[in-house]
């Protein structure tokens, strides 16, 4: 009797046929392109030579197989059980199974306690993620795989969101980074997501079985897993049956089924499955009748822009270039702001070639009748394009978009821009950008998703959008992760939804994501009344109409919505009134050439991954640097920088041999504040204090396998690397206390530490292998000295260190004095920095964060960027406490938050000072802080910018925020 297993996945259909003796007679792996039921029927027909005349047992598995199993009354086996069954039958000595599918990823731990880990809320790091990245690089999977094997260096790329990762990749593309390095880095991101996001602290070791299509067909991905996990050939197993393993497990499972079918019965059942359709419960249509649609079209035609014939015009012209994430936009306007030339082109992985082609086309058409008086560049690729073609100036994206929006509505108070893979929202107050919101945690439902899905169905984006307008029952897709939404769309299609219904449903989901995930709007009035929408995505009338319906308010959509950044750049450079443009000439353009190479900078311990672009005239553009060293420019800024000052003071603590041996302290979280206490305390007790080293990406990688939570903030994840370094250095005792309370500074209702900061030592103790070292993590409080002395003496005595209470008290009193001396020194340095700013007429930024934000790896050099822009940089603890303490609108019980509230009040009282708040992804209580800090500042007319940081240093987004704040300061001046 034959056993047939079908794995009906999100993107592929796999089948395995076993003989009476469990030998594989047939196996197949095919993309079903959403035609799941039709292809399943076709597969059964294809198996006729094998099945006809035999009795068959059948079982179905896979994310898209449950509905088919229900209709056909076939046994259904969950994927994990199917995989485990196949492993027990064919690879029983495996310790761990890693399986990557089209939209899911999972790890099975088979030794010790049996456990399964699977992606749930995000589909980053799966086959679909790799497909999207390959499309971004304009490569097919085979080309991408072959290139990845030739890499020379790896870049950090986020993989927690399939579309959001493009925000890390696109700047590399725009900077001219080698595609081989980018391809390998994408595979490394998948590996990192598997280790940190799925394993979550449990070690991946022993014999590892790698399954699933991506791990079977992509040799570069295999290489990244092997190198990262340090596996040899014996422990890294990539079986030839890897793509079919779930189907193989389903066939094994079918063996125990009591249902037996003839070939004819199978055909009959699968024909029934193919013909069955489930009614979708749709949403209301976008337009109730043709009249309402006509009014909509007429209203938006009013926001058109005049054009001028480039072939007949004579006079001055201005060019704006928007080098965006996936597209390059170029506009040329005349003296009356009329459109002479425009283009909207996909980058295809090389924006320089796109700009060269467009400028060449312009020069062919203008002869000597038109004089180009200026060229401004904006967008992700601003620096590269400006350097390559000698643009006159760069303009930050927010300013470019606001300049364009103001042209269409001088009273605009809210701008929303949905692009290919990002969303930006600007609030305008007093004709100045007052606040900006980016999709920093998730990019679900941006324009590139709709375009990609339209192409997969065989439609171009324009036709796909038009179909949505005719939908009678739009599919309700909610607002979900992009790749999971892809599954919802396919499920709706399998249930009989039309392409029109899917198009409208996708449009509505994008709108919901923008309003409720990005803007986090609480009401319509929270958004604004004079709204301008822009970005290429809003050229889709289905999305525009969905936005107006969800908002309950009409908006302005310019006819050049997708070109607004370029148009704003052209308007901006026109205001410069330049007599001559530095833009590359027609003759120079004819011989233009460009090469790029990747290196690792050795100027300091950051070891920045640099991309050096060299142009035909010998000029160079270096990207990826966090300071001016690789540019060969001597940093002349003498502006005080409290972040650098504090970090250097802590690094100056030196160890000396002690009578009681060595004790290690990790430089993490609250240790960046409490080291001035612990170092003198243990040194005076007779210990040699060993500090973990400077944070680095290598250190982070060393501890990554023990990270138990993918969603905890990056500073907490970094703790594992610091502890691992102390373990590797064989420091006999590691001291890292749990501290519920902080010092009572008189500026809050309570003085709690953040829960992660307070109790992360417990996480370390539970998840890291500390057999050789003594790991001490007592519960201590420094705000009650007498209680501290007693608890510390009792705790040390438990571990064989019998020190008298008198000596503990003496050393403790010295340590308390040292701590307060350090805090007073920081305050004094802050006052000196403020005086310096006043004396030298400098602008000041209070960069408010937490103690660990002075770590160079965590802050990504933001303070250096600010001093490079001629700011004096202060920290939240370098300004005095404002007394008497004023309550805020929330329970003010977190010490670090209380300092930020105090810092905001201090900024309100100071001239020429603004605030930037640093926020770490994963810190759930940051939202409370941000709203309160924002309210305090705005009440006094102060500017506020929030910068979110994570392990992947998206310097492009950081620079946009900082430069936006600088531009707003200049406008207010």
| CA 495 and chain centroid, separation | 33
CA distances from 7 to 54, 101, 104, 502, 767 (A): 21, 11, 13, 25, 35
Q: What is the pLDDT of residues 431-475, one digit of tens each?
A: 877 777 766 555 555 666 677 677 766 678 888 888 888 888 888
Q: What is the DSSP letter of 193?
A: I
Over the Cα atoms of the chain, what is R_g?
31
Percent pLDDT > 70 in the chain is 88
Total domains in the chain come to 6
DSSP 8-state class, residue 641:
B
Q: Comparing C-alpha atoms, which of 146, 154, 216 is closest to residue 189? A: 154
Is residue 42 domain-resident?
yes
81 and 97 together in one domain: no
The stretches of 91-136 forming alpha helices (DSSP H) are 127-136
Higher-scoring residue by pLDDT: 240, 875? 875
Residue 820 and residue 705 share a domain: yes
The overall average pLDDT reported for the chain is: 85
Q: Which two tokens stand for residue 510?
A: 């994008």
Lowest average pLDDT, out of 273-287, 435-449, 674-688, 893-907, goes to 435-449
Domain for residue 13, yes or no?
yes
Q: What percent of the chain has pLDDT over 90?
A: 41
Question: Are 726 and 875 part of one and the same domain?
Answer: yes
Q: What is the pLDDT of residues 37-67, one digit of tens each?
A: 888 999 999 999 999 989 999 999 987 788 8
Token pair in block for residue 561: 């919505």
Asked if the model's pLDDT at residue 632 lies above 70, the reply is no
Least confident of 229-238, 317-326, 490-499: 490-499
* Residue entry with tokens 């005239």: 617
CA distance 972 to 470: 47
**Residue 384 placed within a domain:** yes
Q: Which residues contact 604 (CB under 8 A, 6 or more apart)?
A: 627, 629
Q: What's the DSSP call for residue 526?
A: G
Nearest Cα neighbor of 175 from 479, 609, 484 is 609
Strand residue runs (E) in 260-326: 315-323
With vertex at residue 396, the alpha carbon angle to CA 875 and CA 346, rounded to the nearest 5 degrees, is: 130
CATH of the domain at 532: 3.30.420.40
- Tens-place pLDDT, residues 516-572: 766 766 677 778 889 999 988 888 899 899 889 888 889 999 999 989 999 999 999
Query: Who wins on pLDDT, 623 or 560?
Result: 560
Strand pairing class (944-949; 96-100): unpaired
Note the pLDDT of residue 225. Answer: 93
Once rounded to an integer, what is the mean pLDDT over residues 378-384? 83
Cα-Cα-Cα-Cα torsion 92, 98, 100, 104, nearest 10 degrees, comes to 100
Neighbours of 885 (CB within 10 A): 17
Residue 146's CB: how many other CB atoms inside 10 A? 14
Same-domain status, 524 and 602: no
Domain contains 288: no
Q: What is the pLDDT of residue 442?
A: 55
* β-strand partners of 6: 15, 60
Give a yes or no: residue 156 inside a domain.
no
E strand or H helix that includes residue 828: helix 805-839
Q: What is the tens place of the pLDDT at every residue in 823-868?
A: 999 999 999 999 999 999 999 999 999 999 999 988 888 898 888 8
Could you tell me if 478 and 374 lie in one domain? no
Q: Which residue has the tokens 């009329």?
A: 338
State the DSSP H helix or E strand holding residue 918, giving kind and residue range, or none if neither: strand 913-920
> Distance from CA of residue 138 to its chain's centroid?
21
Among candidates 958, 744, 716, which has minimal Cα distance to 850?
A: 716
Look up the domain containing 98 and give its range: 92-147+180-238
Please check whether residue 289 lies inside any domain of the structure.
no
Comparing CA positions, the residue from 972, 923, 897 lying closest to residue 742 is 897
CA distance 419 to 959: 19
- Domain-embedded: residue 780: yes
Q: Are residues 77 and 99 in the same domain?
A: no
Q: How far apart are CA 599 and CA 624, in angstroms?
A: 10
Give the CA count within 13 Å in the CB-facing half-sphere of 658. 20
- Assign 634 a pLDDT band (cuts: 50, 70, 90): very low
More confident residue, 377 or 443: 377
CA 690, 693, 698, 701 torsion-angle sign: positive
pLDDT digits 0-9 by tens, 1-27: 899 999 988 678 999 999 988 899 999
- Say yes or no: 652 and 769 in one domain: yes
Banded pLDDT at 883 (limits 50, 70, 90): confident
Query: Which of the pair, 708 or 77, is modelled with greater confidence?
Result: 77
Same domain, 674 and 715: yes
Q: Yes or no: say if 848 and 915 are a contact pair by the CB < 8 Å rule.
A: yes
- For 673-727, the pLDDT digits (tens) are 999 999 999 999 999 999 999 998 889 888 888 888 877 888 999 999 999 999 9
Residue 236's pLDDT is what? 93
Statement: residue 655 has pLDDT above 90: no
pLDDT at 465 (0 to 100): 85
Are residues 695 and 790 both part of a single domain? yes
Pairwise CA distance, residues 160 & 123, whole Å: 7
**Distance from the Cα of residue 774 to its chain's centroid:** 37
Kindly tell me if the per-residue pLDDT of 954 is higher than 60: no
Higher pLDDT: 819 or 175? It is 819
Return all residues near 175 (Cβ < 8 A) that are at least 6 apart: 381, 383, 384, 596, 611, 613, 621, 623, 624
β pairing state of 105-109 and 96-100: antiparallel
290 assigned to some structural domain: no
Q: What is the 3-state secondary structure (H, E, C) of 664-681?
A: EECCCCCHHHHHHHHHHH
Q: What is the DSSP letter of 244?
A: G
To which H or E segment does residue 97 belong?
A: strand 96-100
At residue 633, the pLDDT reads 44
**What distance in Å separates the CA atoms of residue 531 and residue 517, rounded to the nearest whole number?**
18
pLDDT tens digit sequence for 248-258 = 999 999 988 88
pLDDT tens by residue, 184-204: 999 998 888 888 777 777 888
Which two three-digit tokens encode residue 822? 């350090």
Q: Are 913 and 846 in contact (CB under 8 A)?
A: yes
Per-residue pLDDT, averaged over 898-910, amounts to 92
Average pLDDT over residues 119-130: 71
Task: Indicate the residue among 506, 531, 555 that finishes a domain.
Answer: 555
> What pLDDT is attached to residue 122?
61
Greater pLDDT, 772 or 331: 331
Domain boundary among 192, 215, 238: 238
Same domain, 397 and 476: no
Residue 163 pLDDT class (50, 70, 90 cuts) = low
Sheet containing 662-665: give its strands across. Answer: 688-691, 662-665, 733-735, 774-776
Q: Flag the least confident range among 113-127, 147-161, 538-552, 730-744.
A: 113-127
Residue given tokens 């009273």 in the structure block: 411
More confident residue, 215 or 517: 215
Q: Are residues 894 and 773 located together in one domain of the fold?
A: yes
196 with 248, same domain? no
Which residue intervals of 537-631 are DSSP H helices?
541-551, 564-574, 586-590
Quick one: pLDDT band at residue 604, thresholds 50, 70, 90? Answer: low
User: What is the per-residue DSSP string for 871-885?
Assistant: EEEEETTSSPPPSS-
The phi-psi region of residue 206 (left if phi > 0; otherwise alpha if psi is between -120 and 50; otherwise beta) is left
pLDDT over 70 (residue 645): yes
Q: Tell me the pLDDT tens digit for each residue of 323-355.
A: 876 789 999 999 999 999 999 988 766 788 899
């Amino acid at each position: 009797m034959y056993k047939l297993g079908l794995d009906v996945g999100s993107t592929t259909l796999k089948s395995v046929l076993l003989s009476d003796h469990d030998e594989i007679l047939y196996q197949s792996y095919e993309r079903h392109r959403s035609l799941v039921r039709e292809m399943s029927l076709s597969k059964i027909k294809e198996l006729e030579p094998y099945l006809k005349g035999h009795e068959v047992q059948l079982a179905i598995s896979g994310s898209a197989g449950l509905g088919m199993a229900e209709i056909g009354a076939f046994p259904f086996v969950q994927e994990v059980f199917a995989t485990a069954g196949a492993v027990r039958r064919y690879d029983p000595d495996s310790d761990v199974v890693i399986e990557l599918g089209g939209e899911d990823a999972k790890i099975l731990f088979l030794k010790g306690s049996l456990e399964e880990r699977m992606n749930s809320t995000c589909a980053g790091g799966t086959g679909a993620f790799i497909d999207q990245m390959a499309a971004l690089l304009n490569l097919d999977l085979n080309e991408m795989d072959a290139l990845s094997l030739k890499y020379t260096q790896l870049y950090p790329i986020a993989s927690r969101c399939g579309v959001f990762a493009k925000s890390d990749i696109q700047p590399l593309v725009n900077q001219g980074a080698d595609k081989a390095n980018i391809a390998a880095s994408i595979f490394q991101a998948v590996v990192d997501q598997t280790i940190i996001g799925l394993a979550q602290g449990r070690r991946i070791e022993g014999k590892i079985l790698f399954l699933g299509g991506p791990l079977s067909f992509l040799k570069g991905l295999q290489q990244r897993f092997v190198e990262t996990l340090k596996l040899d050939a014996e422990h890294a197993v990539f079986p030839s049956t890897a793509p079919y393993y779930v189907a193989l497990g389903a066939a094994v499972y079918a063996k125990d089924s009591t249902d037996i079918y003839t070939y004819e019965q199978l055909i009959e059942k699968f024909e029934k499955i193919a013909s069955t359709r489930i009614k979708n419960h749709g949403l209301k249509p976008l337009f109730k009748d043709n009249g309402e649609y006509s009014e909509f079209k007429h209203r938006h035609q009013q926001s058109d822009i005049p054009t001028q014939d480039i072939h007949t015009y004579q006079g001055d012209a201005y060019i704006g270039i928007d080098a965006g994430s996936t597209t390059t936009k170029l506009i040329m306007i005349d003296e009356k702001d009329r459109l002479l030339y425009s283009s909207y082109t996909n980058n295809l992985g090389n924006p320089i070639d796109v700009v060269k082609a467009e400028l060449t086309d312009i020069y062919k058409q203008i002869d000597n009748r038109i004089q180009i008086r200026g060229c401004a560049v904006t967008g992700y690729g601003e620096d590269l394009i400006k350097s390559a073609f000698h643009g006159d100036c760069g303009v930050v994206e927010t300013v470019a978009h606001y300049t364009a929006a103001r042209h269409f509505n001088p009273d605009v108070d809210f701008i929303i821009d949905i692009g290919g893979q990002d969303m930006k929202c600007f609030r305008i107050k007093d004709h100045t950008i007052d606040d900006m919101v980016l999709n920093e945690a998730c990019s679900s439902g941006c324009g590139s998703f709709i375009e990609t899905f339209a192409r997969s169905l065989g439609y171009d984006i324009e036709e796909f959008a038009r179909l949505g307008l005719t939908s009678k029952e739009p599919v309700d897709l909610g607002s979900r992760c992009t790749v999971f939404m892809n599954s919802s769309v396919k499920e709706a299609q399998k249930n009989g939804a039309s392409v029109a219904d899917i198009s409208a449903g996708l449009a509505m989901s994008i709108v919901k994501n923008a309003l409720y995930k990005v803007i986090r709007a609480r009401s319509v009035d929270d958004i604004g009344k004079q709204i301008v929408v822009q970005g290429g995505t809003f050229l889709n009338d289905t999305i525009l109409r969905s936005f107006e319906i969800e908002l309950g308010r009409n908006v302005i959509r310019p006819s050049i919505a997708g070109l607004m950044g370029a148009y704003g750049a052209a308007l901006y450079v026109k205001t410069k009134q330049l007599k001559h443009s530095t833009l590359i000439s027609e003759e120079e353009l004819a011989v233009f050439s460009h090469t790029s190479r990747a290196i690792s900078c050795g100027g300091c311990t950051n070891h920045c991954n640099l991309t050096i672009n060299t142009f035909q005239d010998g000029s160079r553009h270096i990207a990826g640097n966090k300071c001016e060293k690789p540019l060969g420019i001597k940093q002349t800024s003498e502006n005080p920088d409290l972040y650098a000052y504090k970090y250097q003071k802590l690094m100056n603590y030196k160890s000396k041999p002690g009578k009681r041996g060595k004790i290690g302290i990790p430089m993490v979280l609250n240790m960046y504040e409490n080291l001035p206490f612990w170092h003198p305390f243990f040194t005076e007790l007779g210990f040699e204090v060993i500090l973990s080293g400077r944070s680095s990406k290598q250190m982070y990688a060393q501890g990554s396998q023990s990270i138990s939570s993918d969603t905890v903030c990056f500073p907490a994840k970094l703790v594992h690397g610091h502890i691992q370094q102390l373990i590797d250095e064989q420091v006999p005792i590691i001291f890292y206390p749990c501290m519920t309370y902080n010092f009572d500074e008189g500026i809050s209702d309570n003085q709690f530490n953040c829960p992660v900061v307070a109790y992360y030592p417990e996480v370390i103790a539970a998840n890291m292998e500390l057999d050789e070292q003594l790991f001490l993590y007592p519960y201590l409080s420094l705000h009650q000295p007498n209680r501290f002395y007693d608890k510390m003496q009792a705790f040390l005595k438990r571990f064989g260190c019998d020190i008298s209470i008198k000596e503990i008290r003496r050393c403790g009193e010295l340590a308390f004095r040292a701590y307060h001396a350090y805090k007073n020194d920081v305050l004094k340095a802050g006052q000196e920095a403020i005086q310096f700013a006043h004396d030298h007429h400098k602008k000041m930024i209070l960069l408010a964060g937490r103690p660990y934000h002075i770590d160079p790896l965590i802050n990504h050099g933001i303070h250096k960027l600010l001093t490079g822009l001629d700011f004096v940089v202060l920290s939240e603890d370098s300004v005095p406490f404002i007394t008497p303490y004023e309550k805020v609108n929330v329970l003010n019980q977190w010490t670090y938050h209380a300092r930020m509230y105090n810092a905001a009040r201090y900024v309100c009282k100071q001239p020429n000072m603004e605030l930037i708040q640093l926020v770490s992804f994963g810190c759930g209580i940051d939202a409370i802080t941000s709203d309160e800090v924002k309210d305090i500042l705005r009440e006094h007319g102060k500017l506020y910018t929030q910068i979110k940081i994570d392990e992947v240093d998206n310097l492009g987004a950081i620079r946009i925020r900082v430069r936006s704040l600088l531009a707003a300061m200049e406008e207010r001046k």
